[in-house]
Amino acid sequence: MKSAASLVILLLCSTISFGQQVKEPTGGNPEWSKAYEPFRVAGNLYWVGTYDLGCYLITTPKGHILINTGLASSFDVIKSNVTSLGFKFNDIKILLTTQAHFDHTGALAAIKKATGASMMVDEKDVPVMEDGGLSDYAFGGSVMFEPVKVDKKLHDKDVIALGNVKLTMLHHPGHTKGSCSYLLDVKDEKKTYRVLIANMPSIVTDKHFDAIAEYPEIAKDYSYTLKALKSLSFDLWVASHASQFNLHKKRKAGDAYNPEAFKDREGYDKSLAELQAAYDKKMAGN
């Protein structure tokens, strides 16, 4: 029989949970929920997201890794896309994300529950993941996605291993406190590619950086991330949003497998130059 104290704690937890219902923001980009065919990016790396939201499946003989989920409604989209590619949805063993915003985390809790996968998160984004965005420095104040229990905290340069895959997490903060990118090698029938799954550091707050008490390191973090991204070496790159790496100019629906379409170092450097200019302008206004 539960003690009186335990019953009080349970009641309080229930009250808190009831009072913080999930309210996913509305009025976002319609391309976030628009369907898009899944496809093979390179080797054992696949796009399983929507028209704009980058959700990536990395397959291995020992199970699969899923990076990002899009909105809450993306659960069915991702499940259908994984299945249509010939893989088993329940073979997803590890869940990752590039940032703790609702447009990339909305279905994580549901997929974790359905598959039993382990949720691994950059340590700086753990609080936001576990409170559903309530404590986010830019958009906090309400629960925007179903909170997700984190099974393992990740740190810069940590390696996530599963089967024959080793994925290196790169801490790239600013957009969120624990935004991150990933580097991995993939191999197809012809060659091996070094692939960067980049979280591009766009600025999401209208406030001056020095006015954000919840994140005093924000200016320093953005500066670090921009420098770190510029120094990376890779063969191919993709990002958290299709629009960030011009997916729909590089690939049309129905196109044949073509990893070379995602080389584009020139486009990567141009994007970073634009982000650097935005950062410099923000700093000049502080």
pLDDT tens digit sequence for 92-101: 999 999 999 9
Q: Cβ of 263: how many Cβ atoms within 10 Å?
A: 15
pTM: 0.92
**Averaged pLDDT, 110-119:** 98
Grade residue 19 by pLDDT with cuts at 50, 70 and 90: low
Residue 252 pLDDT > 50: yes
Residue 16 pLDDT > 80: no
pLDDT tens string 61-71: 999 999 999 99
CA 61 vs CA 64, 91, 158, 159, 197: distances in Å: 8, 10, 22, 18, 21
**Averaged pLDDT, 262-266:** 98
pLDDT tens string 189-221: 999 999 999 999 999 999 999 999 999 999 999
Residue 28 confidence (pLDDT) = 72
**Averaged pLDDT, 176-181:** 98
Residue ranges and CATH numbers for the domains of the chain are: 28-284 (3.60.15.10)
